[in-house]
Amino acid sequence: MLNDADLDALLAGRHADPFSRLGLHADDAGRLWVRVLLPGAADVTLLDAGSGKRIVELEHRRGGFFEAQVPRRKHRFDYRLAVHWAGGGEGVYADPYNFYPQLGDDELQAFAEGRNFRPWLSLGAHVVQYGDVRGVRFATWAPNARRVSVVGNFNNWDGRRHPMRLRHQAGVWEIFVPHAAEGDLYKFEIVAGNGALLPLKADPYARRAQLRPDTASIVTALPEPTPLPRQRERANQRQAPISVYEVHAGSWRRGVSGEFPTWDELAEHLPGYVADLGFTHVQLMPISEHPFDGSWGYQTLGLYAPSARFGPPEGFARFVKAVHDQGLGLLLDWVPAHFPADAHGLAEFDGTRLYEYADPREGFHRDWNTLIYNFGRTEVREFLIGSATYWIERWGVDGLRVDAVASMLYRDYSRPEGQWIPNVRGGRENLEAISLLREMNEHVGEIEGAITVAEESTSFPGVSAPTYAGGLGFHYKWNMGWMNDTLRYMAEDPINRRWHHDKMTFGLIYAFSENFMLPISHDEVVHGKGSMLSKMPGDDWQKFANLRAYYGFMWGHPGKKLLFMGQEFAQRNEWNQAEALPWGLLEDDRHAGVQRLVRDLNKLYREHSALHRLDSEPGGFEWISAHDAEHSIFAWVRRDGTGRMVIVVCNMTPVPREGYSLGVPDGVTAWKEALNTDSAYYGGSNMGNGVAAAGLPVQAQPAHGRRLSITINLPPLATLFFVPI
């Protein structure tokens, strides 16, 4: 019989190795004993698994602990437990303590050594079957815990029922729970090393979770590998046109329920809308599970789980397919920089600062009141890199936009002197985070066609350079400097713009130092910053004209494009995540005109290789007029490297200029106006250069330092595109 000390430890939930006592065991004399801990059971009978015959009834000692010596058996055998419950009901069950260790020594060794970058294949909850027994394998990393149990609706949330086996070489706890099934709720009950019982913890590797405010993890199937469609691989390359429509899924439109739309509701409307406007990609703000709506998903606790706000995960799979069916790519916002300190999450997961840095000068984010991942810890790195590969490999998304990279790169990010710890070299760079990002990008780079985009706001060198060249390995970097400079310029009254001319030209000094994406994101239209339309000076006519001219400038400028939802039809108020976009504005032709312009800009951008093929190379751009600050005019040539060209001209004052001489490159006899943001079709004054078949003939009249020119009408507050005939 089990000694009282072991029994007391089991009943108190503090036994260090429950598998050594529960289940089927031989004593020193070679006799077999079976022991089970089933609080709430009235009686338990041991059955032969093959024949179903009764072997022996177990004796109830106390607290739901039953045991018996097995008669006439000398070797291990498969058995079942027939249980009558005190509250009524009965059943026949396989015993979780009659199963061997679940995870192989090799995979655990790889995890401990930092060689397992798909840890989601081992950890978390996985439906498995052994013979005729179907159940769920649970595993979690908690190396400093004294005891870990999985609790859920399958065991009445009782931590005594399923204490897990510790695999010491990796600090991983595991158990196979027979008869647990897909759809079951679960958490981990953890006793810290000091004996304290922690709040129930959600599974860091959960692939599905309850809708907030509930926080349990949900057993769900592992998605099948989903490779990118072949055409998507080509569409994500640097030479391709990439124009991204950024979406907050919860507020693009409201669902039929009046709250969050389902994935199927989004799939029905969003991809078709984005494709009709000519964008090439959809980018979703974080849709991984998060507790607080107001964080917009950027304070995530479920790096492997699509949010329950939009329905079950299989709906997300249908949404991804709908996006690809429209010929679009899908990018997801991904947040490896920090996580919230909610008690059910990663914070002090096993009673120690496991996922986060221990010292708050490294591990606490002052701006967001969140915790910072310990980027140097082997298992944390695998957790993060595994999440990146999971979304791409298992859901088939095209890539990730990585949030808050700047906060990861610098140890003194938003910290005053004395509140940060230098690196081992005495510098301010976070060497562990830099190493993590490089390693993540290398693993993503192994997936054919997948891309990563960095939101990085500093001048850190080589963000989009390959890791073998010393870079971070991202495919693209958001050009935050360009965005800030040009928006400051546009906010100026046109009469003052002559004094700020360099804000529009400065970006070309460094435009080809990275593979840049030009972002007008959600961050520019919240927190009192106003909408894009409200940033523009002047009366209503001038606001719309300024905005149209700016969009033309942006689409003609080197760099991939990103526009946040609602700005394509000139939303008047800043974005509010609690409300749907004001679609009724499209009944006003001024707003509909801006939408038509964005559609045509995307069409022009995609159809003319000169506007995208050499976005990241100096050979794709040449100034015609960069210094006409007096008239606030900018003009340049875009090239594709094969002889194709597009000329872009911007007039950023409300003064129309008829008969304007524009210097043009050699080798073309006539040019025609391809797009004019002042067209009446978009809501402008309709001053322009016509669409005559003969176009605008090239004259042997010098202008802008060139021997040839064309004479154009330059509308007020407008951007024009010209292509050769």
Q: Which residues lie below 8 Å from residue 62, measured CB to CB, with a gap of 6+?
A: 7, 11
Q: What is the mean pLDDT of residues 557-580?
A: 97
How much is the pLDDT for 234? 84
- Return the closest-CA partner of residue 591 out of 524, 675, 682: 682
Cα(417)–Cα(436) distance, rounded to whole angstroms? 25
Q: What is the mean pLDDT of residues 501-522?
A: 97
681 vs 258 pLDDT, higher one: 681
Q: 331 and 281 in contact (C-beta within 8 Å)?
A: yes
Residue type, 320: V
Residue type, 524: E
Is residue 455 annotated as a catalytic residue, yes or no? yes
Q: What is the mean pLDDT of residues 8-35?
A: 92
pLDDT tens, residue by residue, 135-154: 999 999 999 999 999 999 99
Catalytic residue of the set 333, 403, 524, 615: 403
Buried b (16+ CB within 10 A) or exposed e, 136-155: bbbbbbbbbbbbbbbbbebb
Q: Which residues lie below 8 Å from residue 182, measured CB to CB, with a gap of 6+?
A: 127, 219, 220, 221
For the cut 90, the answer to whether the pLDDT of residue 693 exceeds it is: no
* pTM for the model: 0.95
Q: What is the mean pLDDT of residues 326-332?
A: 97
Residues found in the chain: 725
For the cut 80, the answer to whether the pLDDT of residue 594 exceeds it is: yes
Q: What does the DSSP 8-state code read for residue 46?
A: E
Segment holding 681, helix H or strand E: none
From residue 415, give the alpha-carbon distance in Å to each of 356, 359, 455. 17, 14, 20
Cα(464)–Cα(112) distance, rounded to whole angstroms? 30
What count of other Cβ atoms lies within 10 Å of the Cβ of residue 465? 17
Q: 189 and 197 in contact (C-beta within 8 Å)?
A: yes
Cα(112)–Cα(178) distance, rounded to whole angstroms? 27
For the cut 90, the answer to whether the pLDDT of residue 503 exceeds it is: yes
- The token pair that represents 577 in the structure block: 């995540």
Residue type, 99: F
Q: 360 and 348 in contact (C-beta within 8 Å)?
A: no
pLDDT tens, residue by residue, 28-64: 999 999 999 999 999 999 999 999 999 999 999 999 9
Catalytic residue of the set 265, 398, 455, 485: 455
pLDDT tens, residue by residue, 233-258: 888 999 999 999 999 999 999 888 77
- The token pair that represents 235 in the structure block: 């569409």
Distance of CA 139 to the CA centre of its chain: 24
Task: Tell me what percent of the chain is helix, strand and coil, each rounded to the nearest 5.
Answer: 25, 25, 45
Residue type, 177: V
Q: 145 and 191 in contact (C-beta within 8 Å)?
A: yes
Q: What is the mean pLDDT of residues 377-405?
A: 97
For the cut 70, the answer to whether the pLDDT of residue 691 exceeds it is: no
Q: What is the 3 state secondary structure string of 601-667?
A: HHHHHHHCHHHCCCCCCHHHEEEEEEEECCCCEEEEEEECCCCCEEEEEEECCCCCEEEEEEEECCC
> pLDDT band for position 168 (50/70/90)?
confident
Cα(238)–Cα(225) distance, rounded to whole angstroms? 25
Is residue 630 annotated as a catalytic residue, yes or no? no
What count of other Cβ atoms lies within 10 Å of the Cβ of residue 598? 25
How much is the pLDDT for 14? 86
For the cut 90, the answer to whether the pLDDT of residue 194 exceeds it is: yes
Q: Within 13 Å and on the Cβ side, how many CA atoms surround 297?
A: 26
How much is the pLDDT for 74? 87
Cα(502)–Cα(508) distance, rounded to whole angstroms? 10
> pLDDT band for position 83 (50/70/90)?
very high
From residue 486, give the alpha-carbon distance in Å to each of 156, 500, 531, 570. 59, 10, 15, 17
Q: Is the peptide bond before 213 cis (omega within 30 degrees of 0)?
A: yes
Segment holding 562, helix H or strand E: strand 560-564
How much is the pLDDT for 87? 86
In the three-class reduction of DSSP (H, G, I as helix; E, B as strand; rest coil), residue 565 is classed as coil
Q: What is the mean pLDDT of residues 556-562?
A: 98
Cα(406)–Cα(65) distance, rounded to whole angstroms? 55
How much is the pLDDT for 13? 86
For the cut 80, the answer to whether the pLDDT of residue 209 exceeds it is: yes
Domains of the chain: 4-98 (2.60.40.10), 105-218 (2.60.40.10), 616-724 (2.60.40.1180)
Cα(421)–Cα(410) distance, rounded to whole angstroms? 10
In the three-class reduction of DSSP (H, G, I as helix; E, B as strand; rest coil), residue 491 is classed as helix
The DSSP line for 171-236 is TEEEEEEET--TT-EEEEEEE-TTSPBPPPB--TT-S-BPPTT---EE--PPPPP-PPPHHHHHHT
Segment holding 106, helix H or strand E: helix 105-113
For the cut 90, the answer to whether the pLDDT of residue 115 exceeds it is: yes
- The token pair that represents 230 in the structure block: 């072949």
Q: 434 and 409 in contact (C-beta within 8 Å)?
A: yes
Q: What is the mean pLDDT of residues 151-163?
A: 95
Q: What is the mean pLDDT of the chain?
A: 96
How much is the pLDDT for 692? 66
Q: What is the 3 state secondary structure string of 272-315?
A: HHHHHCCCCEEEECCCEECCCHHHCCCCCCEEEEECHHHCCHHH
The position carrying tokens 């970006």 is 507
Q: What is the mean pLDDT of residues 163-182?
A: 96
- The token pair that represents 529 in the structure block: 């910053």
In the three-class reduction of DSSP (H, G, I as helix; E, B as strand; rest coil), residue 682 is classed as helix
> pLDDT band for position 230 (50/70/90)?
confident
Sort residue 36 into left (φ over 0), alpha (ψ -120 to 50) or beta: beta
- Return the closest-CA partner of residue 81 out of 132, 135, 36: 36
How much is the pLDDT for 16? 83
Cα(542)–Cα(676) distance, rounded to whole angstroms? 16
Q: Which residues lie below 8 Å from residue 282, measured CB to CB, with a gap of 6+?
A: 244, 245, 247, 270, 271, 274, 323, 328, 329, 330, 331
